[in-house]
Amino acid sequence: MSVTPQGSPPARSSPDGEDDTTGVGSLSSAPERADVVSSAVDAAPPPRPAGSDMFGAARGGDTSGYGGLVRKKGLGLSSERPYGGWFDEAVDALKESYRGFGDTVTRVVVDRGELTLHVRRESVAALCRHLRDNANHRYELLLGVSGVDFPDQDERLHVVYHLLSMTYRRRLRIETTCSAEDPHVASVVGVYPTADFHERETWDMFGVQFDGHPGLTRILMPDDWDGHPQRKDYPLGGVPVEYKGAQIPPPDERRSYA
């Protein structure tokens, strides 16, 4: 019986049946492994399937902005009742408690188990205050404000508010729109102080101007940056930057991670 000396690695079986006490086994040498890694990096990326974005996704929105995906244009209609779940009760309660519901809410949409109220931009702040303070709603927390750009629409810039009622354990989305020529929406910082940085980011990335914001300045890009990078007509590459004369390459010239 063979005994492995104390402190030595345990014996391993090599492919030819002999014990290997080096602890390396059948691993390739370092130069061979380096050659394999180098050849894998230098290999040309596979061609991108037609109708997919630069990451290979063939369904959903074109997250890269550089693919063949085309978003189907919706009809802009409200969902049919009954909505299901607690949605009918919540909408009926809001109709009863908020006098300007008919002039404020243009659409009620239920999709993927989520409730969204499409609201006129001049009424967003007043409606948010009502949803926060009214005992039947109690949406005490604003989780975030985000922007979306749909360049094929007249009012292409969408602003989305995510509300949470900790009292009733419910989530509600408010959505409003504005045009790129008149990108003004009332700020809700006076209702939800957490909207401060979120509105600054939406302004920075999409160019939506939140009227009444206490300090609407850029938060991600430099103060003198030209344009708003998450608009769909913003160039995806070839943009000169200040860092050591670097330049962002266009998407089709970047390394593929597929």
Q: Per-residue pLDDT tens for 77-116?
A: 889 999 999 999 999 999 999 999 999 999 999 999 999 9
Higher pLDDT, 251 or 219: 219
Q: How many domains does the chain have?
A: 1
- Residue 198 domain-assigned (yes or no): yes
pLDDT tens digits, residue range 141-166? 999 999 999 998 999 999 999 999 99
User: What DSSP element (H or E) covers 118?
Assistant: strand 114-119
- Residue 203 domain-assigned (yes or no): yes
**pLDDT of res. 53:** 57
**pLDDT of res. 70:** 59
Between CA 198 and CA 187 the distance in angstroms is 11
Q: How confident is residue 226, by pLDDT bands cut at 50, 70 and 90?
A: confident
Mean pLDDT score of the chain, rounded to an integer? 80
- Residue 144 domain-assigned (yes or no): yes
How distant is the alpha carbon of residue 55 from its chain centre? 15
- Residue 191 domain-assigned (yes or no): yes
- Residue 153 domain-assigned (yes or no): yes
Q: Which amino acid is at 57?
A: A
The three-state (H, E, C) secondary structure of 124-181, written as one string: HHHHHHHHHHCCCCCCCEEEEEEEEECCCCCCCEEEEEEEEECCCCEEEEEEEEECCC
Share of the chain above pLDDT 90, in %: 55
The residues, ordered by sequence, that sit 6+ positions from 113 with a Cβ below 8 Å of its Cβ are 85
Between CA 140 and CA 129 the distance in angstroms is 10
- Residue 195 domain-assigned (yes or no): yes
Q: Collapse the DSSP code of 91 into the 3-class scheme (helix H, G, I; strand E, B; otherwise coil) and give the result.
A: helix
- Residue 4 domain-assigned (yes or no): no
Between CA 163 and CA 141 the distance in angstroms is 6
**pLDDT of res. 41:** 47
- pLDDT exceeds 90 at position 28: no
Q: Are strands 170-178 and 157-165 parallel, antiparallel or unpaired?
A: antiparallel
Burial label for 105, CB within 10 Å (0-12, 13-18, 19+), is buried
- Residue 178 domain-assigned (yes or no): yes
Contact 171, 163 (CB under 8 A): yes
**pLDDT of res. 5:** 47
Higher pLDDT, 223 or 126: 126
Quote the domain boundaries for residue 118.
87-227
**pLDDT of res. 209:** 97
**Cross-strand bridge partners of residue 142:** 163
Q: How confident is residue 23, by pLDDT bands cut at 50, 70 and 90?
A: very low
Q: What's 183's domain CATH number?
A: 3.30.460.80
